[in-house]
Amino acid sequence: MRKQWAARGVPETGDVLNRDARRVSASFEAADDLLWQAVAGRLRTLGAVTLGRSGRIGPLVELAMAMAAWPDAYRTVTVEPPVFYQLTRALGEGAISGAGARDRAGVFPLSRFDPDGDGPERPVWDQWAKHAENAAVVAGLARGLAVGLMGALGELLDNVFEHSGRPASGVVAYAASDGAFEFVVADAGRGMLASLRENPEFAGLSDSGAALRVAASDGASRHARSSGHGYGIGQLFRALAHDAAELRFRSGDHALRLWGDAPSLTGQVELAQKAWLDGLAVSVRCAPETPHRRP
């Protein structure tokens, strides 16, 4: 496993942003660098920055969460991909998008989700989730993989209500392009470290990086393993047991990335320290075919 650390445990900014950069791709690297600049109080001194399409929705979700947490710092940042507007409307207004017949991206705010399953919003969620599943199949995923991924998405969604402490802050988003499908489950709650420390087994966890590694093991949660909680991430790994994918878990001041065939903690793994961002964001991207164009 390759770890990225800066001196004295302080994350350095990357080379994505500098005083000469005015337009960059909306990648995870750019989202990370923008947040560090914002936390350090330097983002507005860079002047206007425009983020263009990267073909990914995961960085856009993290950007939207960061902008909600640091609105003044991001006033000079413009994000061009149209789905970003859907994300900001979901977070700010509770707007649902992406369930239309031709939609290839969408956002469902968890402020509109009914965890008990018997409210008026439940049929809306069921329709939205089914459309996301169909979009994955149209993008090139096998039906069985798409069904497995949506099952894992549902488990991750349940985890937001069970563990985050702020479920109404959460969103679920998807994006499909030719040959690729991506979904994200994110919230602005207490994060993985604080949640896991409620379990005596994990009370000694040192930081968010250690918490993310624990969370990526099957059956780990703030409840005892015998309770049956904490299996959402395990279901995700099982859904990808025979497929290639890239996974990113972002919580607190760390991000854990896993990629390759049947991604797991025993495969290709990168743990990196980041600027602090409340909550947890899980991004999953499958690309069984080489995309012909970006979304």
| Residue pLDDT, tens place only, 129-171 | 999 999 999 999 999 999 999 999 998 999 899 889 999 999 9
Bridge partners, 255 (sequence order): 250, 272
Domain range 83-286, its CATH number among 3.40.1160.10, 3.30.2270.10, 3.40.50.300, 3.30.565.10 = 3.30.565.10
HSE-CB of 115 using CA atoms within 13 angstroms: 13
% pLDDT > 70, the chain:
85
Residue 22 in this model has a pLDDT that exceeds 90: no
Order of strands across the sheet that contains 77-79? 23-25, 49-52, 77-79
Q: Are 286 and 77 in contact (CB under 8 A)?
A: no
Q: Are 250 and 265 in contact (CB under 8 A)?
A: no
pTM of the model: 0.88
Alpha carbon 188 to its chain's center: 11
Instruction: Count CB-CB contacts under 10 A for residue 100.
Output: 9
- 216-268 pLDDT, tens digit each: 875 564 444 544 444 457 778 888 888 999 999 999 999 999 999 988 888 89
Q: In the chain, where are the structural domains located?
A: 83-286
What's the pLDDT band for 114 if we cut at 50, 70, 90?
confident
Is the model more confident about 214 or about 295?
A: 214
